[in-house]
A and B are shown apart, each in its own frame.
Chain A
Amino acid sequence: MKFRNASVVALAAAAALTMTACSGTSDGTSAGGAESKSFEFWSFTGIDQKATVDDYKKKKPDVTVKLTEVGSSVETAQALTTALAGGKVPDLVLIQGDDMPKFVQQPQNFVDLRSLGADTMKGDYLDWVMSQSTAKDGSIIGIPTDVGGMAVAYRTDLFEAAGLPTDRDKVSELWPTWDAFIETGKKYTAKTGKAFTDNAATSVFFQAVNQVSEKYYDPSGNPVYATNPQVRTAFDYGIKAAQAGITAKQSSFTDGWSAAMKKGDFAVVAAPSWMLGSIRSNAPDTKGKWDLATIPGGSGNWGGSYLAIPKNAQNPKAAWDYISTMQSPAGQLEHFLDSGSLPTTPSVYKDQKLTSLKDPFFSDAPIGTIYTDSLLGLKPFLIGPDSSAIGQEFLNAITNVEQGKGDPAKAFDTAVTNIKTAIGG
């Protein structure tokens, strides 16, 4: 009998342990009542929306915000789709830029923010960012929260060990082009025997393809991914990097990628502004060992998100108050100073607080000017309904070559064939 009891207790303990180990989902603060001063907010993980919500609650202590971090940006868009198709929608939702076109094409699912006052605000934001959340009928379904200006983060200690310069201006001079970037990588790998960058698909191709003037669609919305020479050039850079043997073959945001970053198994990672938070939280022990250089090619944008209000939201007014308070130029500047998400409101780009901001984690790099400079002179391109799927197939093709499985000569054609199957066109 004793054994029986002991084993039951042990079992229960083991069960409890495994259960708690996996129930790490964050659900925000207290569940709000049905009063008009509360609203439900779906965001995604990794961008620390909670900090902004806390700021808001300090400003409006009588408002209850029920924040849910649904999952990754893609998972959040999936959950939103399901909810729009027939479920309980949140009052406010954060949508990543690549997922926007699908929703912008169906504006009837969202509150036209012009009816709440977006008309008076839209001039505050970068016009090309704003155009991506404006539907054909002119309705505005999203207010941009941030853009992903681009830079390259590199490890000064590892560069020093490889005999490369460590000063951020000198490092920027090492790679005016992607070819030069790959050459630098070869030098680094030859010297140290270690990988230069994390992977070819996101750190090279995804950066290069976001520096074009025309991407997967032409300005009138026709898909041109197969014929656009700019896409092909970016793809070839990806293939070249994949074959150069300079990558750790770790896909971004995987467990292996995090581990490699902690251990310094790669020295360089593409760093859109929102990536800085990811590096900080992934590898806190590497504080001060990083610095930021300009991206080959100089400018570009990767990412950025929008806040939208679903049509059937219970409390659109409360949600709008959050948007208009927190996403004003002053609000975005404040969020940038707290978390590093780059404002979409150019009026603050020359603000003293932004230009003088230095980040000790990245060797006091002037992150304000580095990222806003990368947005200047940016030529906006049209993001179409299948941009996300097209990009994914190109990424997969490069990863497959990097893994030593795909034929580099056929990779582009294979990717185009796969895209045609995927988007049915």
Chain B
Amino acid sequence: MTTISPARSSLPAPSRAGSPRLGLRERLAPYAYIAPFFLIFAVFGLVPLLFTFYVALFDWNPIGDHVFIGFDNFTRLFADGRFWNAVRNTISIWLLSTVPQLLVALVLAHLLNHARLRLAVFFRMSMLVPYITSVAATAIVFAQMFDRDYGLLNWLLGLVGIGPIDFIQSMWGSHALIAVMVVWRWFGYTTLLYLASLQAVPRAIYEAASVDGAGSWKQFLHISIPSLRPVIVFTIVTSTIGGLQIFTEPLLISRATPLTCGAVRQCQTLTLFLFEQGFGQFRFGYGAAIGVALFVLVVAVATLNYLLSTKIRAEKKP
């Protein structure tokens, strides 16, 4: 009930004086409207989250005993080289995929927003094809294209005399391959987000700029980017959250060692490490501890990102 009291004071005085019972109902109504979301979130989001914290304190065999061990999972985790390797891989893949993706999307959105573009709807809609393609299909096709001996890419490289590159077995190669898949999948979606807000920018501004002699590049820098700042912040935050949880791509590119993504875990991400421990080795407690660590990492990076990008937005404002 305490949560309602601030709302009461902000309500207009007449209704409070007129009919207190109805007023209470009216005051409660908004909470009732939003309640379904929070109930569903509690059941499918909050409870599993809290349960993960709980499981992380146990040596938890999913089909056997659950032994309470306090924070042992965490002490073990922080001393585990595989964990830090996964953190490194995750951050590397996230940077390699997010930065180019947002840049490509910015440029594409600007081009697609061009007034004289023909077949605009076709181009705009086809951006979404990678997005609606199943991740599994994308991963399988890309893994074949990047194959060392029989891949299309290495065949092309071979034509210009560059020896076959074993993308999946090398660290940077595998990171690049995963990043390419992520960019491929998400650039269209991000482009459309940018495009939607660009279309809210009055055409007249662009026309005025071009009358003043600003070329496409100048228009991009001085009109498109500033007007996109809020949505850029949004996409940075969401792609951070998504990028730090990349799972399917690394799982599927290394068919021989799917759970570790390669013989020396060269592209094993945190989520994949979690899955390997929880469902490959049946160590649910340890897996849950990895989940908690990932949660902390995502919250920390997302907060940092948000602060940085809002700061930039605030400073650049005229």
A contacts, CB < 8 Å to B: 3-4, 6-8, 10-11, 14-15, 18-19, 21-22, 74, 78, 81-82, 84-85, 102-103, 105-106, 109, 248-256, 259-260, 265, 389, 392, 395-397, 399-400, 403, 405-406, 421-422, 424
Q: Using Cβ atoms and an 8 Å threshold, which residues of chain A touch B80?
A: 421
Whether the Cβ atoms of A396 and B264 lie closer than 8 Å is yes
Q: Using Cβ atoms and an 8 Å threshold, which residues of chain B touch A78?
A: 279-280
Tell me the bound Cα distance from A259 to B82 in angstroms.
32
Tell me the bound Cα distance from A253 to B122 in angstroms.
40
Partner of A18, one of B125, B133, B148, B281: B133
Whether the Cβ atoms of A400 and B264 lie closer than 8 Å is yes
Binds A, one of B61-69, B209-217, B290-298: B61-69
Whether the Cβ atoms of A403 and B169 lie closer than 8 Å is yes
- Give a binary string over B221-261; 1 marks a CB under 8 Å from any A CB, 0 the rest: 00000000000000000000000000000000001110010
Whether the Cβ atoms of A11 and B264 lie closer than 8 Å is no
Residue B166 CB within 8 A of the other chain: yes
A415 to chain B minimum Cβ distance, whole angstroms, is 11
Whether the Cβ atoms of B82 and A82 lie closer than 8 Å is no
Tell me the bound Cα distance from A408 to B140 in angstroms.
32
Tell me the bound Cα distance from A82 to B61 in angstroms.
11
Tell me the bound Cα distance from A356 to B61 in angstroms.
48
Tell me the bound Cα distance from A10 to B281 in angstroms.
45
Q: Using Cβ atoms and an 8 Å threshold, which residues of chain A touch B63?
A: 81, 84-85, 102-103, 106, 109
Known contacts A106-B63, A106-B64; is-contact A396 B257 (Cβ 8 Å)? yes
B217 to chain A minimum Cβ distance, whole angstroms, is 29
Which residue from chain B places its CB closest to the CB of A423 in the assembled complex?
Answer: B281
Whether the Cβ atoms of B121 and A7 lie closer than 8 Å is yes
Q: Which 10 A-B pairs have the closest CB atoms?
A: A251-B256, A85-B62, A22-B137, A7-B122, A399-B263, A396-B263, A18-B133, A254-B255, A259-B150, A106-B64
Residue B196 CB within 8 A of the other chain: no
Tell me the bound Cα distance from A43 to B134 in angstroms.
24
For the residues of B in contact with A, the DSSP-based class is loop
Tell me the bound Cα distance from A395 to B64 in angstroms.
28
Q: How many residues of B contact A (CB 8 A)?
A: 41
Whether the Cβ atoms of A14 and B62 lie closer than 8 Å is no
A261 to chain B minimum Cβ distance, whole angstroms, is 11
Q: Which of B161-186 contact A (CB under 8 A)?
A: 166, 169
Residue B81 CB within 8 A of the other chain: yes
Tell me the bound Cα distance from A81 to B61 in angstroms.
10
Partner of A22, one of B64, B82, B126, B134: B134
Residue B26 CB within 8 A of the other chain: no
Which residue from chain B places its CB closest to the CB of A72 in the assembled complex?
Answer: B258
Whether the Cβ atoms of B122 and A403 lie closer than 8 Å is no
Most chain B C-beta atoms within 10 Å of own C-beta, residue among A82, A254, A395: A254
A10 to chain B minimum Cβ distance, whole angstroms, is 8
Tell me the bound Cα distance from A248 to B149 in angstroms.
9
Known contacts A7-B121, A400-B263; is-contact A14 B280 (Cβ 8 Å)? no
Whether the Cβ atoms of A3 and B119 lie closer than 8 Å is yes
B contacts, CB < 8 Å to A: 61-64, 76, 80-82, 119, 121-122, 125-126, 128-129, 132-134, 136-137, 140, 143-144, 147-150, 166, 169, 255-257, 260, 263-264, 279-284
Known contacts A3-B119, A15-B132, A84-B62; is-contact A256 B125 (Cβ 8 Å)? no
Whether the Cβ atoms of B255 and A82 lie closer than 8 Å is no
Whether the Cβ atoms of A396 and B260 lie closer than 8 Å is yes
Known contacts A82-B279, A102-B282, A259-B150; is-contact A19 B134 (Cβ 8 Å)? yes
Known contacts A84-B62, A399-B263, A421-B82; is-contact A265 B134 (Cβ 8 Å)? no
Which residue from chain B places its CB closest to the CB of A74 in the assembled complex?
Answer: B280
- Can you show 10 pairs from A to B with CB atoms below 8 A apart? A4-B121, A6-B122, A81-B63, A84-B62, A252-B256, A254-B256, A255-B143, A256-B147, A256-B150, A399-B256
Most chain A C-beta atoms within 10 Å of own C-beta, residue among B81, B119, B122, B256: B256
Partner of A105, one of B64, B125, B133, B150: B64
B198 to chain A minimum Cβ distance, whole angstroms, is 20
Which residue from chain A places its CB closest to the CB of B148 in the assembled complex?
Answer: A256
Tell me the bound Cα distance from A19 to B76 in angstroms.
42
Q: Using Cβ atoms and an 8 Å threshold, which residues of chain B touch A84?
A: 62-63
Tell me the bound Cα distance from A78 to B279 in angstroms.
6
Q: Using Cβ atoms and an 8 Å threshold, which residues of chain B touch A397?
A: 263
Known contacts A103-B63, A255-B255; is-contact A14 B129 (Cβ 8 Å)? yes
Tell me the bound Cα distance from A72 to B132 in angstroms.
26
Partner of A81, one of B62, B82, B140, B264: B62
Partner of B122, one of A3, A74, A256, A400: A3
Q: Using Cβ atoms and an 8 Å threshold, which residues of chain A touch B81?
A: 421
Whether the Cβ atoms of A11 and B126 lie closer than 8 Å is yes
Which residue from chain A places its CB closest to the CB of B134 in the assembled complex?
Answer: A22
Tell me the bound Cα distance from A397 to B265 in angstroms.
11
Whether the Cβ atoms of B129 and A15 lie closer than 8 Å is yes
Whether the Cβ atoms of B256 and A253 lie closer than 8 Å is yes
A131 to chain B minimum Cβ distance, whole angstroms, is 21
Q: Using Cβ atoms and an 8 Å threshold, which residues of chain A touch B169?
A: 403, 405
Tell me the bound Cα distance from A8 to B122 in angstroms.
8
Tell me the bound Cα distance from A85 to B282 in angstroms.
10
Q: Using Cβ atoms and an 8 Å threshold, which residues of chain B touch A102?
A: 63, 282
Q: Using Cβ atoms and an 8 Å threshold, which residues of chain B touch A256?
A: 147-150
B98 to chain A minimum Cβ distance, whole angstroms, is 24
Q: Using Cβ atoms and an 8 Å threshold, which residues of chain A touch B147?
A: 255-256, 259
Most chain A C-beta atoms within 10 Å of own C-beta, residue among B61, B80, B143, B279: B279
Most chain B C-beta atoms within 10 Å of own C-beta, residue among A22, A84, A250, A424: A22
Known contacts A11-B125, A421-B81; is-contact A403 B62 (Cβ 8 Å)? no
Whether the Cβ atoms of A405 and B281 lie closer than 8 Å is no
Known: A22-B134, A248-B149, A255-B147. 17 other contacts (CB 8 A): A7-B121, A7-B125, A18-B129, A22-B136, A74-B280, A78-B280, A81-B279, A82-B62, A84-B62, A84-B63, A106-B61, A250-B149, A259-B149, A259-B150, A260-B150, A424-B76, A424-B283
Partner of B281, one of A22, A251, A389: A389
Which residue from chain A places its CB closest to the CB of B255 in the assembled complex?
Answer: A254
Whether the Cβ atoms of B255 and A251 lie closer than 8 Å is yes
Tell me the bound Cα distance from A7 to B169 in angstroms.
40
A43 to chain B minimum Cβ distance, whole angstroms, is 19
Which residue from chain B places its CB closest to the CB of A15 in the assembled complex?
Answer: B132
Whether the Cβ atoms of A253 and B255 lie closer than 8 Å is yes
Whether the Cβ atoms of B144 and A255 lie closer than 8 Å is yes
Whether the Cβ atoms of A18 and B134 lie closer than 8 Å is yes
Q: Using Cβ atoms and an 8 Å threshold, which residues of chain B touch A254?
A: 255-256
Tell me the bound Cα distance from A354 to B283 in angstroms.
43
A357 to chain B minimum Cβ distance, whole angstroms, is 32
